[in-house]
């Protein structure tokens, strides 16, 4: 491994710290959202062909929280997920099919200001 490559967990940690400021007015910490989705790293960021049971379980937890939250919290969850796709090495195609594979109701292409 090259010394110039930052390990995945370091990128995730930096990303989570940066989002703490964005989501300060929300009752939903992005760190909690990302923690629930951490079992999905193998599928979203590596070569796993399908999401694990733990990945789908965590994603369903986030999905349920999203559905049961008020608008500011739904927007915070949405922004957290949207920023993760943009800033981490997440395969956008796999992120797009995760809702289908894990039986989620969230739309990965939604405009966060309209949730």
Q: What is the pLDDT of residue 8?
A: 47
With a cut of 70, say whether residue 7 has pLDDT above it.
Answer: no
**SS3 of 32-79:** HHHHHHHHHHHHHCCCCCCCCHHHHHHHHHHHHHHHHCCHHHHHHHHH
CA 14-80-96 angle, 5° bins: 110
In the chain the first and final C-alpha atoms are separated, in Å, by: 41
**Euclidean distance between CA atoms 42 and 31, whole angstroms:** 18
Better-scored residue on pLDDT, 1 or 113: 113
What DSSP line would sit under 89-107, residue for residue?
Answer: ---HHHHHHHHHHTT----
**In order of start, what are the domains of the chain with their CATH numbers?**
27-105 (1.10.110.10)
With a cut of 70, say whether residue 28 has pLDDT above it.
Answer: yes
What would the pLDDT profile of 34-73 be if each residue is shown by its tens digit? 999 999 999 998 889 999 999 999 999 999 999 999 999 9
The pTM (predicted TM-score) of the whole model is 0.75
Q: Which of helix, strand or coil describes residue 111?
A: coil
């Amino acid at each position: 491994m090259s010394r110039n490559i930052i390990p995945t967990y370091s990128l995730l940690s930096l990303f989570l710290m940066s989002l703490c400021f964005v989501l300060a007015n929300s009752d939903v910490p992005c760190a909690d959202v990302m923690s629930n989705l951490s079992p999905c790293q193998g599928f979203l960021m590596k070569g796993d062909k399908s999401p694990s049971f733990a990945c789908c379980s965590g994603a369903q937890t986030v999905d349920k929280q999203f559905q049961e939250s008020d608008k500011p919290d739904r927007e915070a969850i949405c922004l957290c997920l949207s920023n993760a796709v943009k800033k981490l090495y997440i395969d956008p195609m796999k992120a797009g099919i995760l809702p289908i594979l894990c039986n989620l109701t969230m739309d990965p292409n939604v405009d966060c200001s309209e949730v």
